[in-house]
Structure 1
Amino acid sequence: MRKSAKQSILKRLFIGICFVILIPLSTNAQEYMIGADLSFMKEAEDKGFAFKENEQAKPGFEIFRDHGYNWVRLRLFHTPTTLPNSLEYTIEMAKEAKKHGFKFLLDYHYSDTWADPAKQYIPKAWEGKSQEELEEAVFEYTRNTMISFREAGVFPDMVQVGNEISNGMLWPNGKLPENWDHFAGLVQAGINGVYASCDNNRCPEIMIHIDKGGDLDFTKYFYDKITSYGIQYDVIGQSYYPWWHGSLLDLRACLNFTAETYKKDVVLVEVAYNYQPQEYKDKKAPFPETPEGQKEFLEEVNRIILNIPNNRGKGIFWWEAAAPNKSFSSRTFFKNDGNVQPVISVFDKFSRH
C-alpha cells in the first residue's frame, strides 16, 4: 500500500471512529424490516397513475402500510437529468413515508444515474478531481444532504453508502479490484459524512451493500477486505435476483455464513420476481412467473431470512414494487391497470393480530 494512500485511509478512519465515540448509533434490534424500494412511486402518482386494491384507488403508501410494510427504501442521485430521484424529490417522498408511519432507508448512488456492478459513473460535478478532492466531495455531499433530510424532519433511520458496490464505486478512482485503497477511502468518507450530520445523540445505522446474495465466496472476499481496512459499519446488505444470483440454497448458504462470520445484521435489501414470463422463457424457472409464483417466491425467500442464525436476519426489501410503465414493471406488485397483485399479502400473517 502506498504511504499516502495509507495515511489518507487512516485519517478518514480516525475521524469516523471519533464520530462513533461521540454519537452513539441507533439500533433496530427488535424490529423486522418489511420493506420496499418505492423510489418511482411518486413519479407515477404525479403522472396520474392510480394504485388500487380491489379496484379502489388508494395512495401507494397506504396500500403497503395496510399489509404490514414498515420501511421504505429511497435512492438518491447527485444531479439526475432524466430520472426523478433528486434531493428535493426524495425529501418529498420521505415526508410522505414518515406521515404514513414508515422508517426510511436512504440509498446513496453517488452518481447522476444508476450505479450498480456494471457501472458506477462519477457525478459530472466531480469529474477531474484528485483522489483527495474526491474523498472531500463525498464527505461534504453526504454530510450536507443528510443535514437537508434532518432539517426537513425526515432524517434517515439507515443509510447505504453506495449501491451494489461489489465492483467498487466512483469509477475509475474506486474501481475494484484494482483500486481497493481508493475505494476504502471513498467509503470511509461517505460514512464520516453520515456521522457528521448527526445531532441529539442519534445517528442512522450504516449499511454496506453488494449484489452477491447467492455467492458465498465473493461475499467472503469482499467483507474480509472491508474488515481489513477497519471500516466501521452496522448492517450487511445483499441483492438477490435468482436469474443472476443462484438458487435459494445458494442464498441460504451465503446469508447464514455471512451472519455467523461477521456477526452483523443481514438485510436482503433488493429482491424481486416477475408476475409474468420474463427471465425464464427459455429455461426452467424455480417458481412460475405468474402472480401466484411471485407470491410464493417472496414467501420462500422471507423464510430464509427469518431463519438466519442468531436472529441476524433483519428484513427484506422488494425492489421497485410500485413502478408502472417501466421495462422491468413485470417485477412490481401492480398490474398495468393499477390493481395490486397477491404478493402484497405475504406479510399479513406476520403483522396482523
Structure 2
Amino acid sequence: MNIRTSCLSCLLLLSVTGTDAQKYVGGDISLLTKYEENGSKYLDRNGNTIGSLLQYCKQEGMNAMRVRLFVDPANASSADKGQGVCQDLSYVKTLGKRIKEAGLKLMLDLHYSDTWADPAKQWTPKAWLTLSDEALYTRIYDYTKEVLQQMKAADAEPDFIQTGNEISYGMLWGAEGSTANRCYMGSNSNWARFTTLLANAAKACREVCPQAKIILHTERIAQTDVLKNFYDNMQAAGADYDIIGLSYYPYFHGSLAALETAVAAIESGFTGKQIMIVETGYPLKWSVPGTTYDYISVYPYTDAGQRQFTRDMITMLNKHKAVTGLFWWWFEANEYAHTGAAQVTTNWYNAPLFDNETGRATSAFYEMKRFLDASTGIATIKNKEKTTDDCWYTIGGVKTATPTQRGIYIHRGKKIVTK
C-alpha cells in the first residue's frame, strides 16, 4: 500500500483533540446457521436473493453481531430446544469465525447455563450442580478461559464478552426450581458470592482476550431503582467490566420514555461506563407471547409500525453519548421457503427483521444503520501545527490502528490518501 500526503495538508493541519466512542449496531443472530441449513431464503426489500446474510448486513451498515453460548444445550428441555437452544461451543466457534471473516465485530453471550438464562431462571449447568461455591469460582474461571482459548484458536476471538445473560438477580442459582443464591435489592444475601463468580469470569476474559470489552447485562428498565442498585453493588465490589448491557423490549418493559429514564439514570450515575442495548425488538405482524404493554395505537404491528418504532428508538438513543451499541434480538428469524422437513423453531418469532411469510427484509432492517449516524470519532478540529494523537481516523471519524483499505484518513494532523 502506497501512502502519500495530500497537498491539502499543506494548507491546513488538523488536530484531533477528542473522540467519541465507536458505536456498534447489529443483532443477535444465534440461529442463522440453523435457518441456512434448513433452506430458508433471505431476500432484500425488493425481493432479490441475499447470497450471504452476513455480507449483506455489512453492506447495509451493520458492524457487529451477537451469538449466545450454552454450556451443554443437550441437557435443555425439548420445549427449549424447540425455541432455539442449540448453541454449543462447536456451533459458536463456526458461526463466530464467519462473523469475523465478514469484517464484523463479535459479541459472545455466555449464558453459564445449559438453557435459557434470564431474570426468572439462572439454572446451574448439570455438570456443575454438585460443586461447592469455592469449586464454582474455579470452574467459572476455567470454563471461561477454555471457551475463549478455543474461540481464539478457531479465528473467532470475541470483541465483546457478556459474563452472564440478564443477570439482574444473580446467576448459577442451582438446580432448576431452586430459590437459593438470588440477589435482591434490600438484601445483602448472595451478593458476595455473585460478584466473586463475576470476578473469576472477568479474570479469564482479561487473560485470554485482553482487548475485549466485558459487558454486565441486566434488564430492569421499568425499575430504575433496582437497575441502579445492581450496578451500585458492582461498584462497591470493584467489579471489573467496561459496558453496561441492557435488554429493552417495549412490550415487556414499557415505553421509550421508560427506556430513556433508565438510560439517563445509568449515564449520570455510572460515568465512564458505556451503555449498550444488547437486546431489543418490536413485532412485525403479531404480538409476542406474554406481551404486557400494548403500543399498537402508536406503533402498529406492521412493517411501517416496526420501522417507526426503530426510528424513534434510535433518535432517542442518539441523544445519549454513553450509548454505544444497539442489537436487535433474533432478527434472522425466517422460515420462508424452508426445505427441511420441519421449521427451525416450533413457533415463529414475531419480532424479526425478516418476514417469515415472504423472506423479505423489513423496513426496520434498513433503519438500524441510522444508529451510527451520530457516531464520530472526531469531536473537534482545530488549526494547530501538530498533534500528539498517533491514531488513524477515517473521514467518518472512526478510529483504526492502521489503514486497512484504500481511502482518505486523518493521521497526526494530516489528511492522508492511501492507495
Counterpart residue number, 2:280:
271
Cα displacement (A) at 1:334: 0.9
Which ranges in structure 1 are unaligned for 5 or more consecutive residues?
1-27
The letter of the residue matching 1:287 is Y
Counterpart residue number, 1:209:
217
Change in CA separation of 1:230 and 1:294 when aligned onto 2, cut-off 3 Å: same
In structure 1, distance between residues paired with 2:369 and 2:93: 29
The letter of the residue matching 2:307 is K
In structure 1, distance between residues paired with 2:95 and 2:194: 30
* Corresponding position: 1:80 with 2:76: no
- 8 Å Cα contact 1:91-1:152 kept in structure 2: yes
Cα displacement (A) at 1:111: 0.5
The 3-state SS of whatever aligns with 1:106 is strand
The letter of the residue matching 2:267 is A
Counterpart residue number, 2:322:
312
* Corresponding position: 1:291 with 2:293: no
The 3-state SS of whatever aligns with 1:209 is strand
Cα displacement (A) at 1:203: 2.4
The 3-state SS of whatever aligns with 1:268 is strand
Between the aligned residues of both structures, percent identity stands at 31
Aligned pairs (5 A) from 1:110-125: 110-125=112-127
Which ranges in structure 2 are unaligned for 5 or more consecutive residues?
1-18, 75-80, 175-179, 336-344, 374-395, 397-419
Aligned pairs (5 A) from 1:251-270: 251-263=259-271, 264-270=273-279
Larger Rg: 2
The letter of the residue matching 2:182 is K
TM-score norm. by structure 2 comes to 0.73
Q: How many pairs are equivalent?
A: 321
The letter of the residue matching 2:354 is F
In structure 1, distance between residues paired with 2:21 and 2:118: 31
Counterpart residue number, 1:15:
none
The correspondence for 1:160, drawn from 162, 165, 168, is 162
Cα displacement (A) at 1:213: 2.7
Q: Which has the higher contact order (CA 8 A, sep 6+)?
A: 2
TM-score norm. by structure 1 comes to 0.86
Cα displacement (A) at 1:30: 3.4
The correspondence for 1:192, drawn from 203, 224, 233, is 203
- 8 Å Cα contact 2:281-2:329 kept in structure 1: yes
Counterpart residue number, 1:240:
248
Considering fraction of residues, name the structure with more helix.
Answer: 1
In structure 2, distance between residues paired with 1:70 and 1:164: 23
Change in CA separation of 1:328 and 1:215 when aligned onto 2, cut-off 3 Å: farther
Q: Which of 312-321 and 273-282 deviates more? A: 273-282
- 8 Å Cα contact 1:144-1:197 kept in structure 2: no
Change in CA separation of 1:328 and 1:297 when aligned onto 2, cut-off 3 Å: farther
Change in CA separation of 1:282 and 1:349 when aligned onto 2, cut-off 3 Å: closer
Cα displacement (A) at 1:196: 2.4
In structure 1, distance between residues paired with 2:70 and 2:266: 29
Q: Which of 222-231 and 326-335 deviates more? A: 326-335
The 3-state SS of whatever aligns with 1:329 is coil
- 8 Å Cα contact 1:160-1:208 kept in structure 2: yes
